[in-house]
């Protein structure tokens, strides 16, 4: 293990997938915080881009695939992030109106159709439609819930960090090192944003968490339908996200503060995430290892 950590390949991957995204999140968040002292509105916008910008840095560091039109499922990521950040730039009231909620549902449905078409076109129309609709509804719901005032933003960011880290561990065991790298990049971006939010007490740094929720959904879709992760692994990962989201809502509902406000949702997410990694490891061993 020690020799593996000292290999040039592993060190390079750690730098691209972990250190760079974390550094970008801290840098963008700190710049936005400084600008907020001069122009509060513009500074808040800059801070809200910390997580998307950090993840993009990790994305291009590990998967430099920016094609027009997108050629693979993961090459849609930069285009989706552009739409997400545009929606995130809207005022709070506008983001929660009926037109934006409908836009979220349509965007999720369109994303599900685009990403799943190469596989579902070979299935029966009824089954393909049901699968795409189910993915779109789950995607739209989680995205809307992440941007809801009823969900505490800091615990949710910590929950997404835990889910992304679990995805980073389970994906290579399920057959995709690339998805593991992107999961690590998302976790590092959220970690950097949480750090700078804690140091500067600027909550706007976490305004990019809803975008991170959408990207986590995209990675999970790719993991299930393209990397071929087993249903047991995916079920535990989905339970992890749902449990963490519910716990974040409970924390906000009962106005829990302090360490408990973060620890309780993270524990709710980590327990099923640990089961997902365990199942992925056992399945990998049963198949001879990846």
Q: Is residue 256 part of a domain?
A: yes
Alpha carbon 205 to its chain centroid, in Å, reads: 15
Q: Is residue 237 part of a domain?
A: yes
Q: Is the pLDDT of residue 3 over 80?
A: no
User: What is the percent of the chain with per-residue pLDDT over 70, rounded to a whole number?
Assistant: 88
Query: DSSP readout, 207-276?
Result: GGHHHHHHHHHHHHHHHHHTS---HHHHHHHHHHHHHHHHHHHHHHHTT--STHHHHHHHHHHHHHHHHH
Take residue 190 and report the two structure tokens written for it: 């959220």
Q: Using 50, 70 and 90 to split pLDDT, how confident is the model at 81?
A: confident
User: What is the percent of the chain with per-residue pLDDT over 90, rounded to a whole number?
Assistant: 30
List the domain range (segments joined by +) for residue 81.
8-286
Rounded to an integer, what distance in angstroms lies between the CA atom of residue 51 and that of residue 149? 19
Q: Is residue 230 part of a domain?
A: yes
Q: Using alpha carbons, select from 190, 176, 185 the residue that is nearest to residue 221.
A: 176
Greater model confidence, 132 or 276: 276
Q: Is residue 218 part of a domain?
A: yes
Span 194-249, pLDDT tens digits = 999 888 888 888 888 888 888 898 899 889 888 888 999 999 999 999 999 889 88
Q: Is residue 2 part of a domain?
A: no
| Total number of domains constituting the chain | 1
Mean pLDDT of the chain, nearest integer: 83
Q: Is the pLDDT of residue 40 over 60?
A: yes
Q: Is residue 28 part of a domain?
A: yes
Span 168-197, pLDDT tens digits = 999 999 888 899 999 999 999 999 999 998
Q: What is the pTM of this model?
A: 0.89
Q: Is residue 61 part of a domain?
A: yes
What pLDDT shows up at residue 4?
42
Q: Is residue 3 part of a domain?
A: no
């Amino acid at each position: 293990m020690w020799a593996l950590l000292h290999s040039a390949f592993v060190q390079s991957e750690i730098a691209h997938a972990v250190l760079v995204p974390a550094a970008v999140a801290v840098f963008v968040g700190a710049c936005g915080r400084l600008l907020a002292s001069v122009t509060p509105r513009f500074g808040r916008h800059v801070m809200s881009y910390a997580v998307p910008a950090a993840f993009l840095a990790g994305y291009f560091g590990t998967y430099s695939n920016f094609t027009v039109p997108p050629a693979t499922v993961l090459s849609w990521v930069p285009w989706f992030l552009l739409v997400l950040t545009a929606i995130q730039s809207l005022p709070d009231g506008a983001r929660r109106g009926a037109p934006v909620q409908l836009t979220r549902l349509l965007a999720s449905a369109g994303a599900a159709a685009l990403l799943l078409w190469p596989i579902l076109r070979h299935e029966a129309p009824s089954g393909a439609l049901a699968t795409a609709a189910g993915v779109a509804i789950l995607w739209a719901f989680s995205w809307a819930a992440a941007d809801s005032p009823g969900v505490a933003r800091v615990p949710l960011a910590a929950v997404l960090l835990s889910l992304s880290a679990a995805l980073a561990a389970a994906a290579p065991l399920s057959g995709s090192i690339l998805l593991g790298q992107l999961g690590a990049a998302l976790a590092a971006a959220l970690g950097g944003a949480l750090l700078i939010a804690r140091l500067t007490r600027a909550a706007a740094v976490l305004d990019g968490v809803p975008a991170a929720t959408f990207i986590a959904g995209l990675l999970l879709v790719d993991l299930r339908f393209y990397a071929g992760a087993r249903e047991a692994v995916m079920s535990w990962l989905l339970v992890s996200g749902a449990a963490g989201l519910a716990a974040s809502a409970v924390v906000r509902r009962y106005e829990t503060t302090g360490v408990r406000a973060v620890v309780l949702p993270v524990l709710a997410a980590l327990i099923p995430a640990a089961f997902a990694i365990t199942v992925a490891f056992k399945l990998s061993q049963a198949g001879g290892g990846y």
